[in-house]
Structure 1
């Protein structure tokens, strides 16, 4: 074990603890304002057309549990996974610190700063995906806590970024510039769906990423169909995008498995 590895393991662990404390602040445990109520309620489920229903945020339980598993696992790399872990530790630690930073800036009401933070978070998670694709999982735990959990993290942040931008625009008084807000929402959902398809193709059908994107989109559809603000075009576009993203990823995965079986 190199000294550099030990330092990185400590950095990851401290970053996870910061992330966990941030999440507790975000749900009001340590006296912070819950995210749905922070920044004047700009990120509440009824604040914009791109806000997912509140049930969607239960995915954070999966993300935080996955990050906990990753934090423990990275202390015990096998020889086969050592290089992979070495490449991932600092980028993943960075995503956890950015996660905590996002919560703090939202608590402060700085929505446009939160957009910048989540954009950097999305870029860093995309870098994590590249590392995952270039390296091989060494076992079931590796696939679960690295490929699986980090994939879910990326997929959810793709949807959260769109919702965050919509919240910042709405709070700034943007009213569509003469275009019906429903069509702005549809265009944004098409863009999110396009990103989801691109990630599925680029990653050869990584289901964890696509499933998290589909989850977020599906809950946007539910929120716009059953709740306020009601928007049939947004609900239909979100539901269709969810189906297409997940369908493309699954088809690519099946195709890859079929090709491997024939080889």
Structure 2
């Protein structure tokens, strides 16, 4: 029985590792640089306002629920956590790896690790979407956390790409920084729709709404970025509302 249930403990162990590394990145901080200081050092037109990163608190709170869920009595008959456990452990490893690389200014390597984390979350997301007739616990503690998590890492990957390009002084093929920021906001909007529509997932695009408003407010002095960010956020909010009000195959 212990062996059969060991995945629960591995999930817990690696999630605690993520929390510890995140705490150290703030309190020490790791590498002598705070995450916000590094973000300011490589500030781009896609860098969101600082408050946007508070979404991590909600993500980790929901992930804590995901960790606790399989320990509850009565969930063994529908073990929806076991199939994604190995992918969750990998996502935790990549999460910790990204923080170390970012804090010690290995920016290009941090992007590579973030892409690996994105891949693991895509796999988890697809597996959670395949849960048939989800129970309330599965809706709120298995499906919802990874809609938010994947949504935020999708946005973070776009921002991380822009940071790497800024660090290496990419010339943008002759296009201005603001033009590229507008292009990437449009790409992000399209991505939010493409990923969420097959699953009627109204939560995933809301993460982009949160991020795009923060980007617009951070760059209100750059008219094209400000307007595009707000318009994209508004369209995605309407799209998410439409998903809510129309029939869907499953919640979240």
Q: Please indicate, yes or no, whether the TM-score normalized by the shorter chain is above 0.5.
A: yes
Shift of 1:185: 0.6
Structure 2 distance, partners of 1:48, 1:137, is 43
How big is the shift at 1:74? Answer: 2.5
Instruction: Name the CA shift for 1:39/1:185 in 2 (closer, same or farther; >3 Å).
Output: closer
**Shift in Å at residue 137 of structure 1?**
6.0
1:246 maps to what in 2? 237
Match of 1:210 among 179, 188, 205: 205
CA distance in 2, matches of 1:201, 1:39: 32
1:60 lines up with 2:62 in the alignment: no
* Structure 2: runs of 5+ lacking an equivalent: none
- CA distance in 2 between counterparts of 1:212 and 1:254 reads 18
Give the corresponding residue for 1:224: 219
How far the C-alpha of 1:91 sits from its partner, in A, is 1.3
RMSD across aligned positions (CA): 2.0
- How far residue 20 of structure 1 moved from its aligned partner, in angstroms, is 0.4
Q: Secondary structure at the match of 2:230?
A: helix
Report Cα offsets for 1:136-184 as digits up to 9, x if no partner. Answer: 3643332222211211111111111111111111011123232111111
| Range with bigger deviation, 58-67 or 245-254 | 245-254
Counterparts of 2:122 and 2:87, CA distance in 1: 10
Distance across 2 between alignment mates of 1:49 and 1:122? 22
- How far is 1:80 from its partner? 4.3
Q: Separation in 2 of the partners of 1:103 and 1:97?
A: 10
Aligned with 1:119 (options 99, 115, 119): 115
Give the secondary-structure state (helix, strand or coil) at the position aligned to 1:135. coil
In 2, distance between residues paired with 1:256 and 1:160? 30
In 2, distance between residues paired with 1:217 and 1:80? 41
Matched, 1:102 2:98: yes
Change (3 A) 1:81 1:245: farther
Match of 1:81 among 64, 78, 81: 78
The 5 Å alignment of 1:17-166 reads 17-27=16-26, 29-32=27-30, 33-38=33-38, 41-42=41-42, 47-76=43-72, 78-82=75-79, 84-136=80-132, 138-166=134-162
Moved more, 190-199 or 139-148: 139-148
Contact 1:25–1:34 (CA under 8 A) maintained in structure 2? no
Cα displacement string for residues 63-92 of structure 1 (whole angstroms, at most 9, x for unaligned residues): 11111111111223614431x111121212
Q: Give the paired residue count.
A: 247
**Structure 1 stretch displaced more, 240-249 or 32-41:** 32-41
Structure 1 residues without counterparts, runs of 5 or longer:
none
Q: What is residue 10 of structure 1 aligned with on the other side?
A: 9
Per the normalisation by structure 2, the TM-score is 0.90
Q: What TM-score, normalized by structure 1, do the two folds share?
A: 0.87
Is the 8 Å Cα contact of residues 126 and 154 (structure 1) preserved in structure 2? yes
In 2: Cα distance, 1:250 partner to 1:211 partner = 9
Counterparts of 2:83 and 2:117, CA distance in 1: 17
